[in-house]
Structure 1
């Protein structure tokens, strides 16, 4: 999805709910200016920020990120997927693998962890969903709630997204991480 479409979806949902930018920004603990830039397609945003926005607007993150309508079966060839969304200077980009419905509780994504030699942000993220990760390619350090955990190809982790976490590259090859965001009722 391009940034313009993402921004339009967020704005339309916000207006349908008769909420101001300031109300959404306050609930997400972000600036009104950042929300405005996202809505106007002027900036890419961290997946954690988009996750907070989706939570406040009461829609799954995957629904914001893709254009497909609700379906019983979603087949998406690699050539049809938008390759990457986001800015590698945030530390990663991502691609949404499938979204059956805006009401599903699981959002499969591939996170592309940026190579170490790029100047990256180091702030950990939080979001409302639990997260399952599987290292498809490369090696990362999973910074989770203050501890560092080295993860290599084939390793997995499951954790609460409400705790601060970050994927940190360990070399200049970067990494690919299959990520499932799982909505919980807690």
Structure 2
């Protein structure tokens, strides 16, 4: 799925969900904390949606990533399935001071979400408000080095090959420690698609 297709799908799904609840854009804005103009542009496919805004909407409305991006009816449980991502085929979503590569995006009802975050920001302030979402998360530094900031612990310096497992409901942010970007493999796990409300786009 391309970024443009993903954006169009999210906009259509969000509009259908809002109308099914009998909500105005103002009501949806109050429920999600995302401004009316931004929501209107998303619904009408007039702007892209940032990763932070998507997760904020999901967290506010108790939606999974599948709920927001599903293009097909929910399939019955299948005991065996797979998703292949040839090199360079991940869905890349740019964000503030970082970018995300999402894998296995064609699979629905996933129990974990694998992704790679490229960290370009060099301070926790550049990251923005702490990320937080339901479930747990495992992080592994692929390239470079980072400093992991969390609500409950002192900053943790992590170099290539280091990993950490956290309760992802605990606010967290990553900071690159060198001029070159760092790349971090993350796997989210929880009930359904474990996304919540990290940062705010208004």
* TM-based fold match above 0.5: yes
What do you get for the CA RMSD once the two structures are aligned?
3.3
Give the conservation status (yes or no) of the 8 Å contact 1:138–1:175: yes
Give the conservation status (yes or no) of the 8 Å contact 1:131–1:181: yes
Give the conservation status (yes or no) of the 8 Å contact 1:137–1:176: yes
Is structure 2 residue 177 aligned with structure 1 residue 170? yes
Instruction: State the distance in 1 between where 2:142 and 2:71 align.
Output: 26
Instruction: State the distance in 2 between where 1:54 and 1:36 align.
Output: 17
The 1:145–1:10 alpha-carbon spacing in structure 2 relative to 1, beyond 3 Å, is same
Structure showing greater relative contact order (alpha-carbon pairs closer than 8 Å, 6 or more residues apart): 2
Deviation at 1:110, TM superposition (A): 1.3
* Equivalent residue runs for 1:1-186 within 5 Å: 1-2=3-4, 3-39=7-43, 40-47=45-52, 49-61=53-65, 64=68, 72-79=80-87, 81-87=89-95, 90-99=96-105, 101-114=107-120, 116=122, 120-145=126-151, 147-184=154-191
Q: Which has the larger radius of gyration?
A: 2
- List per-residue Cα deviations over 1:56-100 (Å, max 9, x = no partner): 44442256468688675232233572451123xx12111211146
Give the number of equivalent residue pairs: 181
* Gap runs ≥5 in structure 2: 193-202
- Normalising by structure 1, report the TM-score: 0.74
